[in-house]
Structure 1
Amino acid sequence: MYASICLYFHSHLSWFFSSTTLQASLVKVGHLNADTFMGFLAVSCMFAGAATSALQGGMFGLAGLLPGVYTQSLLLGQALAGLIVAGLNVLFLRGGVDLGFNPAFVYFITSCIVAFFALFAFVWVVRTPVMKYYAQHDTVESSPAKPKEYEIRRTFDAIYDQLLIVGYNFFITLLVFPSLTSKIIDHNQWLVQADGTNLFVPVFTFLLFNLGDVVGRTLSAYGNLFTAYNLRYAVLVRTLFVPAFLLCDVKFSIVSAVLFNSDLWYILFMILFSVSSGYLGAQCMMFGPQCADVRDRECAGTMMAFSLTIGLLIGSWLSFLLIAD
């Protein structure tokens, strides 16, 4: 088991590391024409995205073998990455000063460094006593070998409701963020810099969302406000955020009426929206593997990650329907 897991993660981390290294190198290459540069960049981003998706599914599958708090920690790490990127973006935009370096190059180099250390961190994790205990416990609980299709069907029957809930939660999130929320009109001009740069959207859309997401995922480790059953109702209530943001003063919205024309309404909605997204999403991902049989929890974790990705994908596709031509 350890050999197959190590081979899987080492190969995909190496794949991601190679892709991000290529992206960082392209930033410093000045003699490529625009079409060639974009072609190389698109291909490398595609490989990096595929490696990231494969790694995410595998990591959630591995975390599914462990108690729910480990899944929460994994989710929190993802949210922290988004918060750091949003914070650096505000820092780079603030004042429009010359930083003396290329932010894109720094971004990709940072990704390379993180991937490099993640490779060694994983080698350490699979050798820890807690990982060995739960991995061996899963092996002992397993029944005689049966077709993989049977395991997938059995796992799906046990967690199908959690799959739908987590997919819908992130569908709602991507339906309005960032395609709709990034087009909010700033009425008070609080964060206009001397050079004319307006930081309202970078701060109160991207930074605030990622901060609220981190807070929500952190709170999920300190108690469950919902059971695995009634969690669905809380997720469904998040649908109300769609008309709430549509009724704010948003450019190019398909709704012309403006009910909430104050920046404070938008900020309040964004706080509730981001915290609920992080909290309920983490709760779904924690409940999913726990609802499956012990022998199926690794498969359940991977399926939950797949459903999360599908929700993000569909939400991002349909988000364009909320924007008027």
Structure 2
Amino acid sequence: MKCASDDRGLVAIILFILGMETLLPWNFFVTAFDYFNDRLNTTTVGNVSQPGQTDKYMFNNMCALISQLPLLMFTLLNSFLYQHIAERIRIMGSMVFILLLFILTAALVKVTMEQDIFYNITMTTIWFMNMFSAVLQGSLFGLVGKLPQKYSSFFMSGQAVAGIFSAVAMLISKISKADNENAALGYFLTPCVATLLALCCYLFLPHLKFARLYLEDGPSNPTESVTLVKVKLSEPAYYPESNGQSLLTGPESKGFKTTDIEEKREEQYEEKLPVLSVLKKIWVMALCVTCVFMVTLSVFPAITVLVQPAALFTGTWADIFTALCCFLVFNVMDWVGRSVTSVVQFPSKESCLFPIFVVARVIFIPALMLCNIPARTYLPVVFQHEFAYILLMSLFAMTNGYLACLCMSYAPQLVRSKDAETAGALMTFFLALGLSLGAALSFVLKMLL
């Protein structure tokens, strides 16, 4: 009979793919901005389309606004109403609707229609896509919170790789000079395939014995109870009262006792805590993840895309400078930061250094604003060389991935396993809150340049 430990690698791969799914669709959608602007910034004279003189739709700005509102609203709603809708329905339903929305968007690439109709359909698609993405992300964070900490790192790394894919796609588009229509069709078909893959992975996950030990509320029969506790305690499980030490290997090991088994079994059948009670236990991590993403979104990409090469990047290199040094560097280093958490977790969740490190990232805001941005009124250029910008972006992105991943993995450890899903849903809301606050702050910072 197959041992549960043999499934751990498959569980990690599936969580990595599910992490990609939460951000891959939107990343590819954003990469097709050129296609949307081409379709909306044209005026028709007779049967001939000509470039328009004004951007009456302000698509980029409206896209950011329409995407953030449902993301924030439905992550909050998911935090309170998740108990009334089964996890399986929320996750599968969200992925199915996201798939249908991308099929619709891909089909519209080849359909000619009036600009106003196309604009309204696109904005409606963006709204509903982010609505379902919010529910999906919150539900998956809750699911991941039931597993050992290292699996949160795999999930978060998958999210980072989604950004790498979109950055590579953008880079290839710039180099190949592909027309926006064909590029957009490829972009929208790619997340369709990825969503189907993620859906299949999610359906397969409950069939893995290792996953069932953590995801099921209780064993299906009494003979499984001892196996359940033994496997779970063989993981380096951490609890708030143990000061971050394993119950088996820590200096004050409690050992493997019958009373521990009974306590664990009793905990599984206790009622879940109210949302506000869970928030009281994780509020520090909630504020930390808000701060991390607020700092990141305040300058990336609104400010960072304005940086221009000074000397080294010329010709074709200058054309791909933003795609390469802004988007690709950020996403790669963000992924590196998230991956590091699978082997290093410092500071610990109880350490006062953790919020200090989070707040210290604010220094990246003025540093990136002082890079080589030609169009400025108030601030001088201090870091003119491209390598200075690349170094700052690398550290900025790596700390974003590292600290964000620790926040999302630490929070479920501060509550009982029964409340891990609630903690994950709440953390997703505060993540979205940080994104919204950062996006709003970026308008102010841009005016201060």
Scaled by the length of structure 2, the TM-score of the pair is: 0.67
Give 1:186 deviation, angstroms. Answer: 1.3
Q: Which of these residues, 33, 36, 41, is aligned with residue 114 of structure 2?
A: 33
Aligned partners of 1:191, 1:314: CA distance in 2, in Å? 36
Indicate the larger mover: 211-220 or 122-131: 122-131
Alignment partner of 1:79 is 2:160: yes
Preserved contact between residue 153 and residue 405 of structure 2 (Cα < 8 Å): yes
Preserved contact between residue 138 and residue 294 of structure 1 (Cα < 8 Å): no
Counterpart of 1:153, as a letter, is L
Alignment partner of 1:324: what SS? helix
Q: Flag the 1:137–1:4 CA change in 2: closer, same or farther, 3 A.
A: closer
Give 1:283 deviation, angstroms. Answer: 1.0
Counterpart of 2:103, as a letter, is T
Alignment partner of 1:281 is 2:401: no
Alignment correspondent of 1:314: 437
Deviations 1:90-139 (A, max 9, x none): 1110153x479711111111111111121111111123212221133579
Aligned partners of 2:399, 2:441: CA distance in 1, in Å? 21
Q: Flag the 1:255–1:70 CA change in 2: closer, same or farther, 3 A.
A: farther
Give 1:253 deviation, angstroms. Answer: 4.6
Give 1:80 deviation, angstroms. Answer: 0.5
Preserved contact between residue 152 and residue 409 of structure 2 (Cα < 8 Å): yes
Alignment correspondent of 1:6: 88
Q: Flag the 1:53–1:77 CA change in 2: closer, same or farther, 3 A.
A: same
Aligned partners of 2:390, 2:447: CA distance in 1, in Å? 23
Aligned partners of 1:63, 1:173: CA distance in 2, in Å? 24
Aligned partners of 2:302, 2:420: CA distance in 1, in Å? 35
Taking every aligned residue pair, what percent have the same amino acid on both sides? 29
Give 1:54 deviation, angstroms. Answer: 0.7
Deviations 1:193-227 (A, max 9, x none): 29xx6111111001110111111111111111211
Aligned partners of 2:374, 2:390: CA distance in 1, in Å? 16
Higher relative contact order (CA 8 A, sep 6+): 1
Scaled by the length of structure 1, the TM-score of the pair is: 0.91
Aligned partners of 2:92, 2:148: CA distance in 1, in Å? 24
Counterpart of 1:206, as a letter, is F
Aligned partners of 1:256, 1:28: CA distance in 2, in Å? 46
Q: Flag the 1:225–1:255 CA change in 2: closer, same or farther, 3 A.
A: farther
Alignment partner of 1:221: what SS? coil
Deviations 1:43-67 (A, max 9, x none): 1121111111110000000001111
Q: Flag the 1:99–1:44 CA change in 2: closer, same or farther, 3 A.
A: closer
Preserved contact between residue 296 and residue 438 of structure 2 (Cα < 8 Å): yes
Aligned length: 317
Aligned partners of 1:126, 1:154: CA distance in 2, in Å? 29
Preserved contact between residue 57 and residue 301 of structure 1 (Cα < 8 Å): yes
Gaps of at least 5 residues in structure 1 are none
Larger Rg, first or second structure (1 or 2): 2
Deviations 1:143-195 (A, max 9, x none): 5446xxx521221111000000011001100011000010012111515229x
Give 1:252 deviation, angstroms. Answer: 4.1
Q: Flag the 1:177–1:254 CA change in 2: closer, same or farther, 3 A.
A: farther
Q: Which of these residues, 167, 184, 187, is aligned with residue 307 of structure 2?
A: 184
Aligned partners of 2:188, 2:294: CA distance in 1, in Å? 28
Gaps of at least 5 residues in structure 2 are 1-82, 220-264
Alignment correspondent of 2:338: 217
Give the root-mean-square deviation of aligned CA atoms: 2.1
